[in-house]
Structure 1
Amino acid sequence: MSALVTGSRAGTAARWGLLAVGSIVMVLPFLYMLSTSFKEQTFVLTIPPQFIPQPATLQNYRDAWGTQGFPRYFLNSLVVTVLSTAGSLLISSMMAYAFARFRFRGREVLFRVLLIGLMVPTMMLIIPQFLLAKYLGLLDSMAGLVVFYIAGSLSLNTFLLRGFFAEIPAELEQAMEMDGAGPVRRFFQLILPLSRPALATATIFSFLANWDEFAWALTIITTPEKNTLPVAINLFHGQNSTLWGLVFAASVIAIIPVIVIFLAFQRHFVQGLTSGAVKG
């Protein structure tokens, strides 16, 4: 018995040790970025690296936010991301509801065709998307970002939400239907309120993907005033040298909305991952 207890404790200690090492590996780059954002340029590349800046300075943050156009870039990213996330959630939730509740010819075929979008690398779609955006007159516009960001996230969000909607007891809808509620009313008054964990999960994934997107924004936006934050931060890199303290300070500012969104939806996010949001 004692040998079993000892082995169990050793296994638990090994698991905790692996989790600790993995956590350190994941957190260390963020801590280094945060530390460097408070350093003067002279101390950025010192060896060994200093995780506690000596001396610490806020000048990098003042310079980053005071850079001409930076608040505009931040606002551009915020508007595009919020519109894209809201549009994607609305459309994908309706699609997921149709796939989960309605029976129609070709339902499974259409759903599998939709899932092909999860298998195609984003960079392979840059040229077709560019040609389509040119045909639709969406080049160099915020609408061109919003439309294609929504389209790019529909597959994943529909997949997540369909599994969760299918787990909701059909008897609840039948009771509402007996009271005269149609599909639209059942969707907005029953399905969506009961699906907050799945919606939170989709919100976090969509917001993060849209906020951090770089390649498509760099491809279609040519007017500097319309740049999004990732493109603007890339412009901080000089031709001969890079002010890493300034770049990291701008990066820290850029991740604040992501942290806020995750903290706001964290409880629902964990519940969504563990209660059916990824069941297909």
Structure 2
Amino acid sequence: MTLIARGARRTWLATTLRIGILSLGALVMVAPFLYMVSISFTESTYVLTTPPQFIPDPATLANYEQALMTQGLPLAFANSLYIAAISTAVSLLISSMMAYAFARFSFPGRELIFRILLVGLMIPAVMLLIPQFILAKHLALLDSHLGLIVFYVAGSLALNTLLLRGFFEAIPGELDQAMQVDGANAWTRYWRLAIPLARPGLATAAIFTFFASWDEFAWALTIINTPELRTLPIVIRLFAGAGNNAVQWGLVFAASVIAIIPVIVVFLAFQRHFVQGLTSGAVKG
């Protein structure tokens, strides 16, 4: 009985310690976000007080009203949403077809081509800014949303193909053979068999691609000059640089909170499949 009691006590202590460490880690990660939200509801006079206040007193919506009334923010929000949605859809379509080909077809140089594709994951994006700019100039893609979409899609293909190939390889080959016997061609097998069974992988790729396109700043700042074509990260950066170097943190954080809303919506929409997508297909192949 004593041994059982000691074992139960050790289990309880281990569980309590684990929960305490995880809670502390979660608090450390969430605290900056909570502080940002707090400042977004704080009057400019009380911003960056010491010690920091996580509960604004007094609270105000003036920062949100000013952000929404700013001419560039609503248009930039729409631009970013449009670009991120199109980039995600096109990237998923192309990368899923590529992944299905790598997983289901045998052709000369298949593994070599796949490894060359993966080299793109090893190159920092900032190193490609100048070559991309020269290429975009020759293709007449500068100062356009198409220039953003094309390079966002190209930049996401390697990771998405890697993720989805593992899912397609996990689908039993007998299912493909059965559909072939019934007369289904490659497109039918891809669209009606592979895509429905790879939903967790598609959800994971969709989240990664949308986040990358929505948050991207360097490439958009490099090629976009027309104010009407600016994306949300650029406009938020302009908020931070306004006022003779006196950063309006309340306005910046209010705009940042608005920018987070689509990210939260997309994650909640696909979070059912997200963990499964990371822990199954992503480690195969």
TM-score between the two structures when normalised by the length of structure 2: 0.95
Q: How does 1:93-108 map to 2 (within 5 A)?
A: 93-108=96-111
CA root-mean-square deviation: 1.2
**Identity %, equivalent residues:** 66
Q: 1:215, 1:45 → 2: CA distance? A: 28
Q: 2:46, 2:221 → 1: CA distance? A: 32
Which of these residues, 260, 267, 274, is aligned with residue 262 of structure 1? Answer: 267
1:44 aligns with 47
Q: 2:212, 2:176 → 1: CA distance? A: 33
2:83 aligns with 80
Q: 1:199, 1:226 → 2: CA distance? A: 29
3-state DSSP of counterpart to 2:239: coil
Count of matched residue pairs: 280
2:135 aligns with 132
User: Is residue 117 of structure 1 aligned with residue 120 of structure 2?
Assistant: yes
Q: 1:110, 1:12 → 2: CA distance? A: 48
3-state DSSP of counterpart to 2:213: helix
User: Is residue 249 of structure 1 aligned with residue 254 of structure 2?
Assistant: yes
1:273 CA drift (Å): 1.9
1:228 CA drift (Å): 0.2
Is the contact between residue 213 and residue 230 of structure 1 (CA under 8 Å) also seen in structure 2?
Answer: yes
What amino acid is aligned across from residue 35 of structure 2 in structure 1? Y
1:60 aligns with 63
Is the contact between residue 159 and residue 278 of structure 1 (CA under 8 Å) also seen in structure 2?
Answer: no
Q: 2:145, 2:283 → 1: CA distance? A: 31
What CA deviation, in whole Å up to 9, does each residue of 1:44-68 have, x standing for no partner?
A: 1111111111111111111101101
Q: 2:127, 2:279 → 1: CA distance? A: 32
1:7 CA drift (Å): 3.5
Structure 2 residue runs without a partner (length 5+): none
Q: 2:165, 2:181 → 1: CA distance? A: 24
2:14 aligns with 11
1:268 CA drift (Å): 1.3
Q: 1:162, 1:4 → 2: CA distance? A: 45
1:6 CA drift (Å): 3.6
1:270 CA drift (Å): 1.9
What CA deviation, in whole Å up to 9, does each residue of 1:190-248 have, x standing for no partner?
A: 11011111100000010001100000000000111110000010000223201111000
Is the contact between residue 164 and residue 278 of structure 1 (CA under 8 Å) also seen in structure 2?
Answer: no
What CA deviation, in whole Å up to 9, does each residue of 1:123-167 have, x standing for no partner?
A: 111111111111111111100000000000001000000001100
What CA deviation, in whole Å up to 9, does each residue of 1:20-61 have, x standing for no partner?
A: 111011101110011110000011111111111111111111
What amino acid is aligned across from residue 78 of structure 2 in structure 1? L
What amino acid is aligned across from residue 195 of structure 1 in structure 2? A
TM-score between the two structures when normalised by the length of structure 1: 0.97
2:159 aligns with 156
Q: 2:118, 2:8 → 1: CA distance? A: 46
1:203 aligns with 206
Q: 1:119, 1:279 → 2: CA distance? A: 19
3-state DSSP of counterpart to 2:282: coil
Q: 1:208, 1:265 → 2: CA distance? A: 13
1:3 CA drift (Å): 4.3
What amino acid is aligned across from residue 147 of structure 1 in structure 2? V
Deviates more, 1:266-275 or 1:247-256: 266-275
Q: 1:204, 1:83 → 2: CA distance? A: 13
Q: 2:24, 2:192 → 1: CA distance? A: 45
1:276 CA drift (Å): 2.2
